[in-house]
Structure 1
Amino acid sequence: MRLKPIPVSPTAPMEDARRHPGCRMLIYCRSCRFARAYDPARIIKRLHATGAGGFRTPIGHVARHVARDCPVCGRRQWISTLAWPEALDAREAKRLAGVYRN
């Protein structure tokens, strides 16, 4: 899945993901650019369950909680940000906003 990063501050809280319907949490390796996308709601639940954060956790700090090494280069230099799937168009984003709102 190809993703387009959303220009959001790394200090913005995780709850800002609700302002971008259909977005994904993109965690990528700084060294080799290996990337994985995750559902922001599941990350928030996981942070809350482990006691490591929750809604107010800054987006840039999520990468600090990744305990695995990169499967490509073997380093642990993760960066986290929000991103939209390239296939997401304005109509689908509006539909998702309605689903989240109701």
Structure 2
Amino acid sequence: MRKRTIVAAAGVGAVLAVAGGGVAVATSGGDDGPASHQYTQRQADKATEAALAATGGGTANSVETDSENGATYEVEVTKSDGTTVDVRLDENYQVVVIEGDSDSGDN
């Protein structure tokens, strides 16, 4: 009976370790919203770097997963002139499209 207890405890420990790793990946987006992000901090950093390079610099406000226009990531960037754009990137961190936040409003 002692061997079964040790094996069961080891199994529970392995499940908890895997579940804990999943939570770290799911919540590593850095926002206060629900844990819906499915990327690592490294992926978020790469997406941010690619978005800032594409916009010529600025400040990255958020990184989110995206499914529009074939994109994988969406990075909101405030450029040095104060305008805000959404940079959509594919899974290889290549720009799919850059959209200004005011594109859909004042016509």
TM (norm. structure 1) is 0.26
Higher Rg of the two aligned structures = 2
Higher relative helix content: 2
TM (norm. structure 2) is 0.25
Between 1 and 2, higher relative CO (CA 8 Å, sep ≥ 6) is seen in: 1
